[in-house]
Amino acid sequence: MAKNRSEKTSKKRTYVAPSGETRTEYHNRKHAKILCGMCSRELSGVPMSMKNKAKSQKVPNRPYAGNYCSACSRIALKEKILKGDELK
């Protein structure tokens, strides 16, 4: 059983070092590309690596950003306005 989360999400490789001791090396896996919730297209404007980036650089600044692509977010906003719901 894995001791912590980083061991679960990383590939583990055991090797023998030149000194003769056995070492374990962990390689992080790449996550899948972020897809639109409606049409399953890849989201543009959302980077693959979110490490060491400011919040403003992670997702576009609009409603449903990071969930829907621009075309689907337009559709969702139109539906929400027609229903009479309030936008946040």
Residue 7 binned pLDDT confidence (cut-offs 50, 70, 90): low
Place of tokens 């000194």: 19
pTM of this structure: 0.57
The answer on pLDDT for 84 being more than 90 is no
pLDDT tens-place string over residues 26-75? 887 777 888 999 999 998 877 777 778 887 787 778 888 888 998 999 99
Q: For residue 49, with 0-12 CB atoms within 10 Å meaning exposed, 13-18 middle and 19 or more buried, which class applies?
A: exposed
